[in-house]
């Protein structure tokens, strides 16, 4: 076989092979662009919507035996638009003038809540290890091989055809009809659209129904490519497809199609040639093994960081926003001294009571849960710094925490360094990684920053963890990522009680550091920046330094927290603790409960560890009703309800960026304050 002919044949095969996955990316990128164009929402919940339709199709067709067409109609053309209409009516209609970042947080909340809501409502459990059937009769069994190098099955052909036809139809819709124009107009200013005599509510309802139908259709079409039906897979696909969508600056449908196909081709061709080269050059082999699964995320990150046009576009603001009343001021922070004294006393009393109950009565399980709550509070303080203070959405806090955990595992378990020193080192490494990462991504800002950090988290997940100098490699597979507890002089923290004390001490120290940071120059600069970057720059405040400090601090805190958690569990447990999708929930729970204050982070930590046993399983009630000896299982509610609950609470972020609980508390304290002032 001559070299050149072989090369072209390989290239051709690679391109053909890359077409079906490329079509998957294209379908999702198209839907993503469609939603963004017609509703202005950077809809990370697109994957959740796609998952719901795919699951519904599976349920009706495979489990209930409905004919394929009926299952398709119900899942993609009835359920999907219905969900879109409900979301529009209940949530997004009221957020049309909210900022892009707060809409993103709402979408993240939805992407956590929706799949679980569906699973609970439809009694559906994730399916794994079986072929998911597509929409074509015998779709996976009949093959066509037009060129004699790669065989397409029917489902793949259907998917590619739908992607192509959808692009043409949607492009025509936008080019030749007024409804497309009206949708774009509504995104910019619903009021101006109204002044043009167009009913903006109806237009945005149509837009959501349309884009959600597309999400549903995409979900049903791409499901056969997996041999499982799990919502996180769909979430991941959406993240990858953002790269394809970004190529068209989120507004061009044809470019999204090409971007998706291009991504598929690139990955397939790369996978065809890399093994051949690394056959000759062995030094390429580790790259081959680690790079291929992560290629989509590398491409995504590269597109975000290198594509100059991204992050440049200004958000078009509603020219008629002057009709809105000014946003309600955050309820007063100025408090009557009596009230402050009272809340402080109450806080101290509450902690004393809880502390003594835990100290004297808690068994092993409860000691463990409370320690987890304290440690999670430390980790959540990192979200307080980056999101509450700097106003940035970082979705790689789990990665920073994992860096802390892995450092301590490497240093203490393998190199016998003192555990506490290793924990500090872990925080330092995380801070360094955070600072380096912040350099390219901070330019992006807003929504793109969130996506870039998510890409980094997935990259770490797919590549870095596999390296033996990070995740321990094959030894870790055999022995686990063991982490010892510290031993300081006479105190052995192997005892759970002693370790709880250590965790509390760390929490107190980190809280003080965060408060100092907020009150200091960096905190004030960040507050000024959150108001208006342009205005801040015009009075000589530089964004970059303060943001880098915030990013590094936040990473350090997360790293320290991750190290503590690993010590606590005596294992890093990367995928259950720190995986990218798990860490998504961190953001959700913190913004739901209060991202601006230390208290908010502590509430979130407590909620993370204790909400499920105390409230969902009814242990608190059981303790009161039945006494200590008959705790477990008053109501056996599924733990995933907490995803639903906090996901839905995070939706409030757009209206109350200080967090729902915080908002309620501030309102109440303002009222008491008024009352006290009147008394005087």
Partner 1 sequence: MAPILELRDVEAGYGPFRALFGVSLTVEPGEAVALIGANGAGKTTLARVASGLLAPSSGTVLVDGTGMAEAAAWRFVRTGVVHAPEGRSVFATLSVEDNLALSFQRAFGRAGLAGALRRAYELFPRLGQRRTQIAGTLSGGEQRMLSLARVLVESPRLLIADELSLGLAPLVVDQVFATLGRIREAGTALLIVEQQVGHALELCDRAAVLEHGLITWQGPAESAGAALESRLFTTGAAH
Alpha-helix residue ranges (DSSP H) falling in 307-363: 337-361
**How many Å apart are CA 106 and CA 42, to the nearest integer?**
10
Q: Which of 129, 322, 327, 363 binds ligand ATP (CB under 6 A)?
A: 322
Q: For residue 12, what are the contacts with CB-CB under 8 A and spacing of at least 6?
A: 147, 149
Does the protein bind partner 1 through residue 100 (CB under 8 A)?
A: no
Does the protein bind partner 1 through residue 321 (CB under 8 A)?
A: no
Does the protein bind partner 1 through residue 184 (CB under 8 A)?
A: yes
Task: Specify the residue for token string 């380096």.
Answer: 436
| Number of residues binding to partner 1, judged by CB under 8 A | 26
Given the complex with ligand ATP, which of 324 and 519 has the nearer CB atom? 324
**How many Å apart are CA 267 and CA 22, to the nearest integer?**
9
- CA dihedral sign, ordered 44, 45, 46, 51: positive
Given the complex with ligand ATP, which of 298 and 320 has the nearer CB atom? 320
Among partner 1, ligand ATP, none, what does residue 45 contact (CB within 5–8 Å per kind)? none
Tokens for 459? 């990259």
Does the protein bind partner 1 through residue 185 (CB under 8 A)?
A: yes
| Shortest reach from residue 321's CB to ligand ATP, in Å | 8
Among ligand ATP, partner 1, none, what does residue 328 contact (CB within 5–8 Å per kind)? partner 1
Among the listed ranges 192-200, 263-271, 360-368, 445-453, the one in contact with partner 1 (CB under 8 A) is 192-200
Q: Which of 178, 302, 621, 668 binds partner 1 (CB under 8 A)?
A: 178
127-128 and 143-144: which strand pairing?
Answer: unpaired
127-128 and 487-488: which strand pairing?
Answer: unpaired
| Shortest reach from residue 195's CB to partner 1, in Å | 5
Does the protein bind ligand ATP through residue 325 (CB under 6 A)?
A: yes
Distances (CA, A) of 124 to 63, 117, 227: 11, 10, 16
Task: Specify the residue for token string 């090409």.
Answer: 258
Does the protein bind partner 1 through residue 193 (CB under 8 A)?
A: yes
| Shortest reach from residue 324's CB to ligand ATP, in Å | 6
Q: Which of 39, 153, 189, 397 binds partner 1 (CB under 8 A)?
A: 189
Q: Which of 82, 100, 171, 181 binds partner 1 (CB under 8 A)?
A: 181
Residue nearest to ligand ATP (CB): 325
Among ligand ATP, partner 1, none, what does residue 182 contact (CB within 5–8 Å per kind)? partner 1
Distances (CA, A) of 370 to 108, 357, 373, 495, 573: 27, 11, 5, 14, 19
CA dihedral 35, 40, 44, 50 (to 10 degrees): -20
128 beta partners? 228
**How many Å apart are CA 2 and CA 8, to the nearest integer?**
10
What 3-state class would DSSP assign to 391? coil
| Shortest reach from residue 14's CB to ligand ATP, in Å | 58
Given the complex with ligand ATP, which of 326 and 540 has the nearer CB atom? 326
- Kindly tell me the number of DSSP H helices and DSSP E strands found in the chain: 29, 6
**How many Å apart are CA 57 and CA 136, to the nearest integer?**
13
| Shortest reach from residue 178's CB to partner 1, in Å | 5
Binding residues vs partner 1 (CB under 8 A): 178, 181-182, 184-185, 188-189, 191-200, 316, 319-320, 322-326, 328
Binding residues vs ligand ATP (CB under 6 A): 322, 324-326
């Amino acid at each position: 076989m001559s070299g050149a002919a072989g090369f072209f044949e390989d290239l051709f095969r690679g391109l053909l092979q890359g077409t079906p996955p490329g079509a998957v990316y294209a379908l999702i990128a198209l839907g993503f662009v469609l939603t963004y164009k017609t509703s202005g929402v950077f809809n990370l919940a697109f994957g959740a919507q796609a998952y719901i339709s795919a699951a519904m199709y599976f349920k009706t067709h495979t489990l209930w035996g409905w004919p394929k067409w009926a299952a398709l109609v119900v899942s993609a053309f009835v359920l999907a638009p219905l969900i879109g209409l409900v979301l529009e009516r209940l949530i997004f209609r009221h957020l049309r003038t909210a900022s892009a970042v707060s809409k993103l947080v709402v979408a993240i909340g939805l992407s956590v809540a929706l799949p679980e809501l569906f699973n609970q409502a439809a009694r559906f459990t994730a399916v794994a290890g079986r072929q998911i059937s597509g929409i074509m009769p015998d779709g996976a069994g009949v093959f066509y091989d037009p060129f004699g190098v790669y065989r397409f099955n029917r489902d793949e052909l259907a998917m590619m055809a739908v992607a192509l036809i959808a692009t043409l139809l949607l492009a025509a819709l936008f080019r030749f009809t007024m409804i497309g124009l009206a949708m774009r107009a509504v995104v910019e200013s619903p009021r101006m659209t109204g002044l043009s005599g167009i009913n903006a509510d109806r237009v945005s309802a149509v837009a959501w129904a349309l884009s959600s139908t597309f999400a549903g259709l995409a979900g049903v079409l791409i499901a056969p490519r997996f041999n499982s039906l799990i919502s996180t897979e769909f979430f991941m696909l959406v993240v990858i497809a953002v790269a394809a969508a970004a190529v068209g600056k989120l507004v061009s449908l044809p470019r999204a199609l090409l971007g998706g196909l291009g991504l598929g081709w690139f990955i397939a061709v790369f996978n065809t040639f890399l093994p051949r080269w690394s056959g000759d050059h062995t030094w390429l082999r580790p790259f081959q093994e680690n790079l291929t699964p992560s290629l989509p995320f590398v491409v995504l990150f590269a597109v975000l960081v290198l594509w100059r046009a991204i992050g440049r576009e200004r958000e078009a603001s509603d020219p008629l926003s002057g009709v809105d009343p000014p946003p309600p001021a955050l309820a007063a922070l100025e408090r009557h001294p009596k009230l402050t004294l009272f809340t402080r006393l109450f806080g101290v009393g509450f902690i004393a009571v809880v502390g003594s109950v835990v100290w004297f009565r808690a068994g092993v399980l409860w000691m463990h849960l409370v320690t987890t709550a304290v440690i999670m509070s430390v980790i959540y303080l990192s979200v307080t710094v980056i999101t509450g203070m700097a106003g940035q959405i970082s979705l790689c806090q789990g990665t920073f925490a994992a860096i802390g955990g892995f450092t301590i595992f490497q240093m203490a378990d393998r190199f016998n360094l003192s555990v506490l020193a290793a924990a500090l080192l872990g925080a330092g490494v995380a801070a360094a990684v955070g600072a380096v990462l912040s350099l390219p991504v901070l330019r992006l800002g807003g929504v793109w920053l969130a996506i870039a950090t998510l890409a980094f988290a997935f990259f770490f997940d797919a590549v870095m963890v596999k390296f033996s100098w990070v995740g321990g490699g094959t030894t870790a597979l055999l022995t686990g990522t063991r982490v010892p507890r510290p031993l300081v002089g006479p105190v052995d923290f192997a005892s759970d009680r002693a370790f709880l004390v250590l965790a509390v001490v760390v929490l107190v120290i980190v809280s003080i550091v965060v408060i100092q940071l907020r009150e200091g120059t960096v905190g004030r600069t960040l507050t000024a920046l959150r108001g208006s970057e342009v205005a801040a720059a015009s009075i000589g405040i530089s964004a970059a330094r303060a943001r880098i400090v915030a990013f590094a601090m936040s990473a350090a805190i997360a790293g320290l927290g991750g190290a503590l958690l690993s010590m606590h569990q005596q294992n890093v447990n990367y995928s259950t603790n720190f995986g990218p999708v798990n860490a998504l929930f961190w953001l959700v729970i913190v913004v739901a409960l209060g991202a601006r204050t230390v208290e908010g982070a502590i509430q979130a930590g407590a909620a993370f560890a204790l909400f499920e046993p105390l409230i969902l399983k009814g242990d608190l009630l059981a303790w009161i009703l039945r006494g200590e000896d008959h705790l477990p299982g008053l109501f056996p509610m599924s733990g995933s309800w907490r995803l639903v609950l906090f996901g839905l609470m995070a939706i409030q972020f757009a209206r109350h960026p200080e967090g729902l609980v915080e908002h309620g508390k501030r309102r109440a304290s303002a009222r008491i304050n008024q009352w006290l002032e009147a008394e005087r």
